């Protein structure tokens, strides 16, 4: 996955638009217009704060189905993503929770989004939705049938879940990339808002052998300079909202502070890389 080609940077910060409940979800409020307006406000605030990309997900549809979502959700998300794409000029990704990667790929391919996030691409995970099995074969085959070049960012040992069996992190990363054909991998903490450890990020980056590794949860202004030392990018949500609360709107000032902190680390990494290259010559 060529991060510079997609995001115009080797170390992208991807902000998250958490959609309000969509049609057929338990907390659906009855107004798609309100959902769209909120999504547009969130995307605009993230763009104003300087993120390099945006991912849109049906976060407030919980409790989630473990596999295929209702067609109404697919329709609503397609409409919303298309509206956001006409509003901002940043790369856009899609995550259809809990694990409807095929619908995500369909939406992204139809609206020319750049990537999707897949919680379980390979392996088997025990989750609060039940047992979820990776469907890498079906997803990659479907992408080929669509003639799509949408990138696949896949979680490794995803949050809010436990693996069946005891795969170590290195093996899980290698399997996700080499056998699941992920274009990038995501490492999270145990739950939303919980960061991965620097040690786990270092292990994942070593195992990925050049495939991009993203921080998938828990990144904040306070810890990003530490965590980005061992990651290529970050997907961030909670800490960019007012008071750091997941239910609050995105705060452009918090976004700008986070992006600035992350870019300082990125610049330092690039300078160190350039210095090593000069010494090697």
Residue 189 has pLDDT above 90, yes or no: no
Q: What pLDDT was estimated at residue 49?
A: 96
Kindly report, residue by residue over 28-51, the tens digit of the pLDDT. 999 999 999 999 999 999 999 999
Comparing 223 with 274, the larger pLDDT belongs to 223
- Distances, alpha carbon 79 to alpha carbons 1, 93, 115, in Å: 27, 14, 17
Where are the domains positioned within the chain? 3-280
Mean pLDDT of 161-165: 85
Residue 270 binned pLDDT confidence (cut-offs 50, 70, 90): confident
Comparing 263 with 280, the larger pLDDT belongs to 263
Mean pLDDT of 6-14: 96
Comparing 192 with 124, the larger pLDDT belongs to 124
Q: What pLDDT was estimated at residue 276?
A: 67
Q: What pLDDT was estimated at residue 260?
A: 94
- HSE at residue 108, side-chain half, CA atoms within 13 A, is 32
Kindly report, residue by residue over 69-83, the tens digit of the pLDDT. 999 999 999 999 999
Concatenating the DSSP letter of every residue in 96-143 gives -TTT-HHHHHHHHHHHT--EEEES-SSSEEEETTEEEE--HHHHHHHH
Residue 171 has pLDDT above 80, yes or no: yes
Task: Give per-residue burial for 24-42: e unless 16+ CB within 10 Å, then b.
Answer: ebeebeeebeebbebbbeb
Q: Domain spanning 3-280: which superfamily? A: Aldolase class I (3.20.20.70)
- CB of 236 closer than 8 Å to CB of 188: no
Q: What percent of the chain has pLDDT over 70?
A: 96
> How large is the C-alpha radius of gyration of the chain?
18
Residue 280 binned pLDDT confidence (cut-offs 50, 70, 90): low
The alpha carbon dihedral of 25, 137, 141, 208 has a sign of positive
Q: What pLDDT was estimated at residue 131?
A: 95
Q: What pLDDT was estimated at residue 182?
A: 98
Q: What is the pTM of this model?
A: 0.93
């Amino acid at each position: 996955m060529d991060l510079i080609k997609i995001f115009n940077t080797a170390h992208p910060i991807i902000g998250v638009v958490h959609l309000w409940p969509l049609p057929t979800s338990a907390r659906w409020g009855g107004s798609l217009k309100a959902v769209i307006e909120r999504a547009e406000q969130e995307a605009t605030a993230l763009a104003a704060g300087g993120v390099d990309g945006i991912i849109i997900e049906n976060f407030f549809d919980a409790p989630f189905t473990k596999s295929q979502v209702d067609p109404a959700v697919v329709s609503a998300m397609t409409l919303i993503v298309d509206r956001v794409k006409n509003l901002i000029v940043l790369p856009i990704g899609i995550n259809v929770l809990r694990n409807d990667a095929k619908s995500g790929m369909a939406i992204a391919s139809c609206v020319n989004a750049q990537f999707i996030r897949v919680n379980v691409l390979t392996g088997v995970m025990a989750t609060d939705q039940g047992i979820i099995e990776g469907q890498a074969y079906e997803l990659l085959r479907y992408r080929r049938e669509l003639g799509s070049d949408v990138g696949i960012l896949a979680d490794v040992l995803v949050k809010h879940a436990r693996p069946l069996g005891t795969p170590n992190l290195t093996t899980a990363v290698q399997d996700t990339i080499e056998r699941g054909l992920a274009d990038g991998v995501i490492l999270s903490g145990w739950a939303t808002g919980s960061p991965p450890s620097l040690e786990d990020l270092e292990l994942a980056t070593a195992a990925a052998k050049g495939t991009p590794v993203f921080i998938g949860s828990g990144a904040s202004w306070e810890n990003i300079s530490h965590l980005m030392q061992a990651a290529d990018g970050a997907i961030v949500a909670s800490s960019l909202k007012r008071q750091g609360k997941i239910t609050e709107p995105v705060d452009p000032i918090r976004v700008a502070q986070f992006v600035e902190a992350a870019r300082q680390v990125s610049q330092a990494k690039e300078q160190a890389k350039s210095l090593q290259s000069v010494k090697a010559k």
